[in-house]
């Protein structure tokens, strides 16, 4: 996450506030610009679109998760416990600001190719965190050096399930609690499968 120049940060923070109050539609570009004290043209020199802005907000939220996670003791005796705890924390953190979370999810799922690099970065960071939770390492921005292919695969799949579960939550298909529960079940099955695969192949 780059050091954000003050004007840019103000814009993103304005978007976060407006999104938290009224969701995606409440993030009106004119309002964001006014709230941040910049002209509309200035906004569009820094961000390609509304979605771009909200993905920038995601980077900020990820930073917050990173800080929270870095402080916390990373507890759990088993891989399953650690991973489940991690998703519990991440899910609660995100859904604490539900309207913001929904707005960001919508932006992420918009499929705009311009956003792909930022989204890939986010995926990478999340996958790294999951791997660290798996292994019980202290969280860090530095990815572990010796993550096995299997661990990486499982982490990636868990992240996919998490994303889909959040989108479902976002549409009102299920509750926050259900998201956490889904992650626990997914982790159980994937970790069992992983253990078996290790036994066979390695």
Residues in contact with DNA by the rule CB under 7 A: 7, 25, 27-30, 37-42, 44-46, 48-51
CB of 5 to its own copies, least distance (A): 26
Dihedral, CA of residue 49, residue 97, residue 7 and residue 35, to nearest 10: 90
Of 51, 48, 27, 30, which Cα lies nearest the Cα of 39? Answer: 30
Q: Would you give the end-to-end CA distance of the chain in angstroms?
A: 37
3-state helix, strand, coil in the chain (%, to 5): 80, 0, 20
Binding segment for its own copies (CB under 8 A), chosen from 70-78, 89-97, 117-125, 132-140, is 117-125
- Phi and psi at 67, nearest 5°, equal -70, -45
- Using N-to-C axis directions, what is the helix angle for 116-135 and 149-170, rounded to 10°? 120
The nearer residue to DNA, 10 or 135, going by C-beta atoms, is 10
Is residue 177 involved in binding its own copies (CB under 8 A)? no
Is residue 127 involved in binding its own copies (CB under 8 A)? no
Of 169, 172, 164, 137, which Cα lies nearest the Cα of 151? Answer: 137
The nearer residue to its own copies, 33 or 158, going by C-beta atoms, is 158
The nearer residue to its own copies, 69 or 190, going by C-beta atoms, is 190
The nearer residue to its own copies, 136 or 168, going by C-beta atoms, is 168
The nearer residue to DNA, 51 or 151, going by C-beta atoms, is 51
Range 32-71, binding its own copies (CB under 8 A): none
Asked if 56 and 84 touch (Cβ cutoff 8 Å), the reply is no
Q: Using alpha carbons only, how large is the chain's radius of gyration in Å?
A: 18
Name the binder of 180 from its own copies, DNA, none, CB < 5-8 A by kind.
none
Which residues would be at the binding site for its own copies (CB under 8 A)?
Answer: 24, 102, 105-106, 109-113, 115-116, 119-120, 123, 153-154, 157, 159-161, 163-165, 167-168, 170-173, 182, 185-186, 188-194, 196-197
């Amino acid at each position: 996450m780059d050091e954000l120049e003050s004007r840019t940060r103000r814009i993103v923070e304005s978007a976060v506030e407006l999104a938290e109050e009224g969701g995606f539609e409440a993030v009106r570009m004119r309002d964001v610009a006014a709230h941040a004290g910049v002209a509309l043209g200035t906004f569009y020199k820094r961000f390609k679109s509304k979605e771009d802005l909200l993905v920038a907000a995601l980077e900020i939220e990820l930073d917050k998760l990173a800080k929270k996670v870095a402080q916390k003791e990373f507890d759990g005796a088993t891989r399953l416990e650690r991973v489940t705890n991690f998703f519990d924390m991440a899910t609660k953190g995100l859904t604490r600001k539900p309207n913001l979370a929904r707005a960001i999810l919508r932006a992420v799922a918009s499929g705009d190719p311009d956003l792909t690099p930022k989204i890939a970065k986010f995926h990478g960071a999340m996958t790294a965190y999951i791997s660290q939770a798996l292994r019980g390492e202290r969280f860090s921005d530095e990815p572990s050096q010796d993550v096995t292919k299997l661990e990486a695969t499982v982490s990636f799949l868990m992240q996919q399930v998490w994303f889909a579960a959040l989108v479902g939550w976002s549409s009102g298909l299920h509750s926050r609690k259900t998201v956490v529960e889904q992650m626990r079940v997914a982790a159980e099955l994937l970790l069992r499968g992983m253990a078996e695969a290790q036994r066979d192949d390695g």
